[in-house]
Amino acid sequence: MTTTTPTIDDATVAELTERVYRAQTDAAAMTKLTVDHPSLTVNDGYLIQNALRARFLADGHRLVGWKAGLTSKAKMAQMGVDQPTVGFLTDRMAVAQGTAIDITRLVHPRVETEVAFVLGADLPTEGCTADDVVAATSYLVPAIEVIDSRYEAFSFDLQSVIADNSSSARFVVGSNGTRLSADPGFDRTTLGMALWRNGELVDTGASAAVLGDPAASVALVATIVGSLGAQLTAGMVVLSGGITQAVAVEPGDHISARFQTIGDVDIRFV
Ligand code: OOG
Ligand code: MG
């Protein structure tokens, strides 16, 4: 990721980081970065994301984990991109079950259901495998991610979405973790999932939608994050990627995700 030569200078990285930071903190839609900077690369997108992370940490936000983006066919088709991405997660994005999310703080939020991995050990920054991930994982938890592209009409290209921290906005995880090692017959790749909105079934899926194995997705995140000069470490939560298409939400909505074996997670919007 950080191996190719940037097409933008440091001043431009700083300027675009500020633009994304403002859009995120003011919940104000912006135009795609590639409109002004058509030659922007994926690598440039990650330079901006790195600077954005530093900016939030300087504000006192705490890094609590990372996420995979665009790891399922449903998500890639919905967003018109063909490559997974990563984004960072902070304590300010974490929402406790039972609390309501204020939609006025977001531009045009959507929800997606994901399998979250809670790490009990550090992951390698190079050549990480699904087996490494399984060995390092304390437990799996069901998660709802609230994504919110800061780009107008939720429309972007790969470079722009990476700069916008892969649309990260909020996330909520279920309260009961499932130990990966507890049941030798437990198959993490075929966990069924149903997504409900206000008591109505919206979508269904299985964990295999995420690169065939959500642990493979976490391994990919470990490697990409390593290339950014960071690391997935013990205690972090990793969202392995949306299983189905993301669903737009409105004030008053109650969203519930029910997973086979690993449990349920709920969130309300006001
Ligand atoms: C990019 C973020 C995607 C996922 O799980 O695929 C993502 C987007 O679709 O806005 O978080
Ligand atoms: Mg997601």
**Model confidence over 175-184: pLDDT tens digits?**
889 988 666 7
Which residues have C-beta under 5 Å from ligand 2, the single-atom ion? 112, 145, 242
Nearest CA owner, ligand 1 atom 4:
69
- Distance from the CA of 169 to the center of ligand 1, in angstroms? 10
pLDDT tens track for 201-216: 999 999 999 999 999 9
- At 236, list the tokens: 């972090």
The closest alpha carbon to 239, from 70, 20, 28, 62, belongs to 70
Q: Whose CA is nearest to atom 3 of ligand 1?
A: 69
Tell me the average pLDDT across 241-270.
96
Q: Give 97 Cα–ligand 1 centroid separation in angstroms.
A: 21
**Ligand 1 within 6 A of CB of 147:** yes
* Sign of torsion over alpha carbons 217, 221, 223, 227: positive
Record the pTM. Answer: 0.97
| Rounded distance between C-alpha atoms, residue 10 and residue 253, angstroms | 42
What is the Å distance from ligand 1's center to 185 Cα?
Answer: 30
Helices 42-58/10-26 angle, 10° precision: 60
Write down the mean pLDDT value for the chain: 95
User: 228 pLDDT exceeds 70?
Assistant: yes
| Section 62-86 average pLDDT | 93
**Can you say whether the dihedral through the CA atoms of 93, 94, 97, 98 is positive or negative?**
negative
Helix/strand number for the chain, H first, E second: 7, 12
Query: Is residue 235 within 8 Å of residue 167, measured between CB atoms?
Result: no
Among 192, 163, 152, CA closest to 86: 163
Measured CA to CA, the distance from residue 220 to residue 8 in angstroms comes to: 26
- Other C-beta atoms within 10 Å of 235: how many? 12
Residue to mutate, 166, 218, 221, 237, ligand 1, most ligand atoms under 8 Å from C-beta: 166
